[in-house]
A and B are shown apart, each in its own frame.
Chain A
Amino acid sequence: MTFRQFAFNNVLRNKRLYIAYFLSSMFTVMVFFTFAIFAFHPAFSGGSVNENALFGMAVAGGIIYVFSFFFVLYSMSSFLQSRKKEFGLLIMLGASNKQIRWMVFLENIFIGFLATVAGILAGLVFAKAILLVAENVLIISESLYFYFPTLAIVITLVSFIFLFFCISVFVSVILRTNKLVNLIKGDKQSKGEPKASVILSILAALLLIVGYGTALYVKGVNVVVAMVPVIIVVTLGTYLLFTQLSVYVIRQLKRNKSIFWRKTNMLLFSDLSFRMKDNARTFFMVAIISTVAFSAIGTLYGFQSYLTKGIKEVNPYTVTYSPWGGDSEEIIEQDINEINAILQEENIDAKMESIELTYFDTHEKDRNVLIVRASDYNRFAALGGETELSLKENEAIVVEQSGAVVAGGPKASEVLMKSSVQLDNGQEVQPSHVVESEVLSEINGYYVVHDKVYENLGRPVRSEINVAWKANEGQHDQVLDAGKKLNEQLEYKAFSVDYSLFEINKAFGPILFIGLFIGIVFFVSAGSFLYFRLFTDLEGEKQKFRSIAKIGLTQAELKKVVNRQIALLFFSPIVVALIHGAVALTALSHMFDYNLIEEASIVLGSFALIQIIYFLLVRFFYVKQVKRSIM
């Protein structure tokens, strides 16, 4: 047996030990590869997707690659951690440091190569699925058909062989094998708890409170200014939370014997504090990575909804038409006829209403105000499906658009409420109250008055025609086609909501997809960190439960201990990340002054749900393994 044979056989005949490391390496390769399949799809090279999206994809690919590097490095080091005893034995048998490094290097290259090949194969299996998902999220005209991704294969193969080579060199260089005694006792000796100081624990709480407070307090543009300092403060706070505050709490719990010595608590807490150093590091990493994932996906989703929902709210009609200022009546008539023709062409049933918007002088100079007849308003309200207004004579109602906030100045309604409607005969009608609606589009707000009052208003300063169409439900595809034609023939005059939304989604799709992809990669990696943490200690745990079972441990007690242990591991970082994410999204909603509660709860809720399912799955297998070992 040569040394090389020894190294390879060590891997091949020890499959169980290496499988976790192998799988996680394979997983990273697979993620990168599926992304590459998507990014190098022939449909994109045709130039139908804009430059920015392609650049975004390149950046995303880079992020995934860099992240893969750290992820593999982490898996590697936690894997080596669990093999301390083996190295100790080898050194005791006379292996030199150089030989052990050489062995680790060979193993790594071997596993890395296998993982790269297996990852590409697995990626090919998922390729069709990922392309289907991409097609639906992206809203692109061409379909993303399946192709044989030669370029993606070559790039993945080359970059990951390179990555594993670098990591193998790196790990074998930094591998420390100094003290034999420590290696041999490696699994029994605790790495110790990090030093828990009261001051730093308080500081952790303070940092988090200050960070959260600032994030929740600032509004508007200040959010951008405060973002970087808040991120630094909260990251530091999170680190101290796990390395100091949690250690401090566990210490206090351990010191209190009536809690620590209560039934299975002793097993749980002793284990927690025994692994506190490793746990704290894992918790911190998982919390931060998950926060990044939550915030990224939440931001993108919230931003998309902000854009689309805003437009939808402001435009209750299918198509609106407003002519240029200088257009003559003939041109307007011609345009309206054209729109009607297009709608007919596409077989769209639509109702049409038109209105002459009349502007009148006010007390102030250079300011006109729109005044609308109640019957006209109600016609449009009926068309758009909004509530109609009933007015008394001598009453005026101020209407403003809910979405339209003039930055800086006073709100439109406030100005109008202070003013009044002047009649020809010198009388004035005071506005009674403010209504928010999107029936007519006028940023500065307007008055609605009774038809009889309107007759006494006198001559308007200027007037413009406004026409709106509302299609019946369930004609989405035809409306889109019509919208496209309208956009081509009457650009800027005729406006189709559905078509604009379609355009926005189309432009936003790739960004959303990439964001989603990276977010999910981060989240799943966070899950793998936890999995590693758990299964690195599995052998020790089995040993422990085997010894306790000999003294007598009921199934229920075993389940209780394992359950709490895994729950703590899985949920403490995720709960922190969820809170971080919720604060970040609240800050975001303050920046846009747009309510993101629905979007945030969808994103955070689905992540929480996934985590719970993951927890249940892992717990099931873990308990099974432990139970089997004590039988």
Chain B
Amino acid sequence: MLKLSKVSKVYEGKVAYRALNDINLEIEKGEFVAIMGPSGSGKTTLLNIISTNDQPTTGEVEIDGKNPHKLTKNALAKFRRNELGFIFQDFNLMHTLTVEENIVLPLTLDGARVKVMKEKASKLAVSLGIESIMNKRTYEISGGQAQRVAIARAMIHEPKLLLADEPTGNLDSKASKDVMSMLVSINEKEKTSLLMVTHDPQAASYSDRVVFIRDGKLHSEIHRGENRQAFFQKIIDMLSLMGGDGNDFSSVRV
């Protein structure tokens, strides 16, 4: 589904900075992968390259057999809104639009029929529990609701790959849990591949596999077993192994 081979990113400047170094990563169809690592490790750079917001300096990215970085700007825009879905830490909703309009926006830009858009939006709204706020404006809803709207927007065109950047970063633990279980259920039902960057071990524990990166290099990865609680513990252990004390992260989030 997604394949990165020897991806490197160098930021030019007075002192060139190598943000990513020979990253190889593969994600299967329907897999849910979380990327973790300390601040400045290159997580966001990696996500930007995958989400085609940024170009890799060397190396190849393949999404569903295609290299999006070789597309023209316009084709890239179309590729983004047809094949990819995005969820952001700060939701990125348009405040001039209502919730419903925000959800259907990707389809609208593509010129879908109104009836189709309405149906899809209401179906998603029911499954995400936001049908009561469909006509509200974005500043009238809470953070958890806003992130669910953002998920709905990311899902409405049935993308092959869903990219999430700190989706729980702005939410409390209850809202985080809700959002994560929604992502998992989408992942299971629709067989959508999911790539998530996060700081939050709790959120990461919902994934099938956690990839750790440090200093721009792949550090290690751990797979989820049967038990989510045990997986969570393993993630905490790995984080403390990578940098600092065992209670560093748990005091922040859990």
Contact = CB atoms under 8 A, between A and B. Distances in A.
A550 B139 contact: no
A544 B81 contact: no
Given A263-B108, A266-B105, A271 B96 contact: yes
Contact of B109 (A188, A547, A553): A553
- Which of A189, A270, A274, A555 is the most central at the interface, judged by chain B CB atoms within 10 Å of its CB? A270
A93 interface: no
B73 A554 contact: yes
A266 B73 contact: no
A550 B86 contact: yes
Residue in B73, B109, B139 with the greatest tally of chain A CB atoms within 10 Å: B109
B82 to A, nearest CB: 8
A225 interface: no
Interface string B22-37: 0000000000000000
Interface in B132-167: 137-139, 153
Given A270-B96, A547-B94, A550-B53, A188 B138 contact: yes
A551 B101 contact: no
A551 B117 contact: no
A551 B88 CA distance: 11
A614 interface: no
Given A266-B101, A551-B105, A557-B109, A257 B77 contact: no
Contacts of B109: 263-264, 548, 551-553, 557
A551 B138 contact: no
B108 A262 contact: yes
Interface in A255-272: 257-258, 261-264, 266-267, 270-271
A261 B104 contact: yes
A185 to B, nearest CB: 6
A266 B78 contact: no
Contacts of B79: 552
A556 interface: yes
Given A188-B139, A258-B114, A271-B96, A551 B108 contact: no
Interface string B92-116: 1111110001001110111100100
Contacts of B88: 550
A261 B77 contact: no
A123 B97 CA distance: 46
B138 A266 contact: no
Contact of B74 (A185, A190, A274, A555): A555
A578 B125 CA distance: 48
Given A270-B101, A544-B94, 19 more contacts: A190-B137, A261-B117, A263-B108, A263-B110, A270-B96, A274-B96, A544-B96, A547-B94, A548-B94, A548-B105, A548-B109, A551-B80, A551-B106, A552-B80, A552-B82, A552-B106, A552-B109, A554-B74, A555-B74
Listed from nearest, the 3 A-B pairs whose CB atoms lie closest are A552-B81, A552-B80, A554-B77
